[in-house]
Amino acid sequence: MKKTISHTSIKSLYTLALAEGEGVGTAYEYFAKRLVLRSWLPTIPPVKRLLIAGLPEKYGCSLDYLLLAEELGATAVVADDRPAAMDKFQTSWAKAQQMGWLTAVSIDLCLVPNMAEMAGVTDPFDLAISNEVIQRLATAERLIYVQKQQELATAVALFCPNAANPDHAAHSGLSTLHLSDLPTLSPGHLVTRSGYIDMPPFPTGVSRSAEQRAQAESGTFEALVMWGLGYFARLERWLPTAVRRQKSHIIYILTSHKA
């Protein structure tokens, strides 16, 4: 029987975001990605080995992917070419464990000399997944990066910043891609799903003090707000494509080997 993942509430995912030094926006993003993955994972072979193909360039540490590995009973390999990002990841993971999260997941860390080539990552994987990685690579490296994942994994899930939302791109300071760019990087895989997600109904970059974040984690009013955000995230897919294209923070593509 294939294992699956729960939606998990935004309030619960907020704990992981706090461990990373992030806030409600990151928890909302994690929830939105899980909505996509939850319906897609049953269509691919069981995930026993998961490759986290790079850590986010700037925001968070992809602890949501560790949660995914834990829920699926998969071993996770984390590959990145930046020692500082690996250190931040380990610190955030330790904080999450102190809060009772991610205590049963098995992880191997692989510091690679080049993110696109990922030399040293050789074992076969059932799924390679990344967020906020491909846009930081040089244009010529992006195809190499995707092809390497296709060599290593049966299925690939790419999430990256949306170029059709220039306001968010300018605020985040990240490079971006258009959704139409992603299929051209995946000639060896069948594109099964793609789209726009993560359009929280609040301004980007709202900063909060440590005290305010603690209140958000435990307060009743904040819990109700996060509950409402969960329903909003579920409604994103029903909004017109033009709205999602212009307002979403993230584009994604889910691929698998061609039959």
Look at residue 214 and tell me whether its pLDDT is greater than 90.
no
Domains of the chain by residue range: 10-257
Look at residue 96 and tell me whether its pLDDT is greater than 70.
yes
Look at residue 216 and tell me whether its pLDDT is greater than 60.
no
As a whole number, mean pLDDT of residues 25-41 equals 95
Residues 6+ apart with CB under 8 A from 232: 200, 201
pLDDT the model gives residue 184? 83
The model's confidence at residue 224, banded by pLDDT at 50, 70 and 90, is confident
pLDDT the model gives residue 207? 53
CB atoms within 10 A of CB 120: 11
Residues 6+ apart with CB under 8 A from 13: 27, 30, 31, 34, 64
Global pTM? 0.92
For the record, the structure tokens of 64 come out as 């949501």
pLDDT tens sequence across 121-151: 988 999 999 999 999 999 999 999 999 999 9
- Does residue 3 contact residue 73 with C-beta atoms inside 8 Å? yes
Look at residue 200 and tell me whether its pLDDT is greater than 70.
yes
pLDDT tens sequence across 163-192: 999 998 888 999 999 999 998 887 767 788
Which has more confidence, 206 or 227?
227
For the record, the structure tokens of 37 come out as 């993955």
Q: What is the CATH code of the structural domain delimited by 10-257?
A: 3.40.50.150
Residues 6+ apart with CB under 8 A from 34: 5, 7, 8, 13, 64, 68
- For helices 210-218 and 220-235, the axis angle rounded to 10 degrees is 80
The model's confidence at residue 259, banded by pLDDT at 50, 70 and 90, is very low
As a whole number, mean pLDDT of residues 72-81 equals 97
The model's confidence at residue 5, banded by pLDDT at 50, 70 and 90, is confident
